[in-house]
Amino acid sequence: MALPVAFFALFFAWPVAAIVRRGLKADGAWRFGRLVDVVSQPDIRHVLWFTTWQALASTALTLLLALPAAHVFARLDFPGKQLLRAVVTVPFVLPTVVVGSAFLALVGRHGLLDELWGVRLDTTVWAILLAHVFFNYAVVVRTVGGLWSQLDPRQEEAARMLGASPLTAWRKVTLPALAPAVAAAALMVFLFTFTSFGVVQILGGPAFSTLEVEIYRQTSEVFDLSTAAVLTLVQFAAVGAILVVHAWTVRRRETALRLVDPKTTARRPRGFAQWALLAGVLASVAVLLLLPLAVLVRRSLDGRGLGYYRALTDADGGTFLVAPVQAVWTSLEYALAATAIAVVIGGLAAAALARRDAGRLVRGFDALLMLPLGVSAVTVGFGFLIALDRPPLDLRQSWILVPLAQALVGAPFVVRTMLPVLRAVDGRLREAAAVLGASPWRAWREVDLPMVRRALLVAAGFAFAVSLGEFGATVFIARPDNPTLPVAVARLLSRPGELNYGQAMALSTILMVVCAAALLVLERLRTDRTGEF
């Protein structure tokens, strides 16, 4: 645990504490009264209200649209099911900047809806809500569908034989069993939408601002660190409460049910109702998930063929100091470095947490590992600039700063992927190896590594995908001569002109293809023991 604890203390706790201290401490005295002053401001209360309201609305809409798909994946067997599963998961691993760009091409000015019917939804709450559904659809399908496929269907069939209607049998038998998974999925969706940044920044315009966007505005535009620090504390408290509730629902999900082999529960569709449900789900996937991505690709080719892509090789001297295509190679280099860091840190943490003799303190660290996913990435990025500015850790001009920030987001995915597999390794195998004279290192190499190799590759793939798309922290610390892909897309979208817009669509398409390719590799590596994510 020594290295993971040191890593999170140095590159997460310290930067966050530094920006909070900078904002709330003046002349050697803490100004805690500033908390009340900031929260009582009408514009801040509006931000808090909109952040909560849009997260609740996004969660409800996602559940409404994704639960039928969870049923289809759990109970129906049809050609192309595995491919469709991968397609549904693609939006989840896409960077939020790409999601915002895709919906901007669909509902924004000169977007598809604008061209066909003269309808624009950008700078409206509906664009934000639909983009959040697009992004979180897979969370509900995977989380709820994974459990649904393991529920014994004979229980619901018994209720039907006793006279219950299909709806009554589902409501009184299946729904109570699914409740923990539905609650866990809802909490995850709420967490992701509560801390939404890239989607709201691109689609919301000046009229809509979440806590994350407001922290960015107060930090980078207004330079009011005091207000940013207060909003960080508010978000930190909210995220902590969400994670506590999430941990409770996950424990219920793991211990309350008797499950069966999911391979025995899926059947070919029978009857009009099941075929209609399958057709409806396929249509919703096509409209909600595939259409925005297709429009994004079309916009990257609109009227110029590959002209926008060729333009990426030219440095315009205005938006970038280098050719925009350089962002592709910069992102890949940073993501590979971040993946290596995340695998080492997350792997060591998972190995420590998997030990059956781990103490309460070590087990408590498991929950803390999730905090980087919920705490403002903007705060972490700006905290890097404040905290890591003195020797021996003056890293402001170092290239390693970006991979370190990206690894903070990737490490929790590594832990969550590897932990179930490590816990499943029979400890008696290690004991037998030790009795035969193997050292602890050799026992791990000969016993654990062959069993967790595939999970390790899956974890590395997820860490690579999320590192490639990290935006909130990177937007602060990426150097002008080495922008990452998400930062480059955001800069291009912020500048007027058809060429800048087309280049943003082209870079977004490249980023989407790279992330989708990584996901398809993960789907081939995924096993039941590595979990749904």
Confidence band (pLDDT; 50, 70, 90) for 131? very high
Half-sphere exposure of 466 (CA within 13 A, CB side): 25
pLDDT higher than 50, residue 530: no
Q: What is the mean pLDDT of residues 189-202?
A: 87
pLDDT higher than 50, residue 483: yes
Helix (H) or strand (E) segment spanning residue 30: strand 29-30
* Contact by Cβ (8 Å): 376, 418: no
CA dihedral 136, 141, 143, 147 (to 10 degrees): 170
Q: What is the mean pLDDT of residues 454-475?
A: 82
Read off the pLDDT of residues 226-278 as tens digits, 9 standing for 90 and up: 888 888 888 888 877 877 776 666 555 544 445 555 566 678 888 888 899 99
The stretches of 162-224 forming alpha helices (DSSP H) are 166-169, 175-194, 198-203, 211-220
Q: How far is CA 43 from CA 52, 190, 196, 415, in A?
A: 14, 22, 18, 39
Read off the pLDDT of residues 52-87 as tens digits, 9 standing for 90 and up: 999 999 999 999 999 999 989 888 888 888 778 878
Residue type, 167: L
The proportion of the chain whose per-residue pLDDT surpasses 70, expressed as a percent, equals 89
Confidence band (pLDDT; 50, 70, 90) for 358? low
d(CA 396, CA 379): 15
Read off the pLDDT of residues 291-331 as tens digits, 9 standing for 90 and up: 998 988 888 887 667 888 888 887 655 566 677 888 888 98
Q: What is the mean pLDDT of residues 177-201?
A: 84
pLDDT of residue 23: 72
pLDDT of residue 162: 83
pTM (2 d.p.): 0.80
User: Other CB atoms closer than 10 Å to residue 451's CB: what's the count?
Assistant: 16
Q: How far is CA 180 from CA 11, 148, 249, 433, in A?
A: 34, 11, 6, 40
pLDDT of residue 304: 67
Lowest model confidence (mean pLDDT) among 92-101, 331-340, 381-390, 441-450: 441-450
Average pLDDT, the chain: 81
pLDDT higher than 50, residue 407: yes
Cis peptide before 483 (omega within 30 of 0): no
Q: What is the mean pLDDT of residues 450-472?
A: 81
d(CA 13, CA 179): 34
Sign for the CA dihedral angle at 157, 261, 419, 340 comes to: negative
Read off the pLDDT of residues 20-54 as tens digits, 9 standing for 90 and up: 787 777 666 677 777 788 888 888 899 999 999 99
pLDDT higher than 80, residue 408: yes
Q: What is the mean pLDDT of residues 353-362?
A: 69
* Contact by Cβ (8 Å): 302, 502: yes
Q: Which of 341, 327, 272 is nearest to 485 (CA)?
A: 327
pLDDT of residue 197: 85
Six-digit token pair at 21? Answer: 């201290």
pLDDT of residue 61: 95
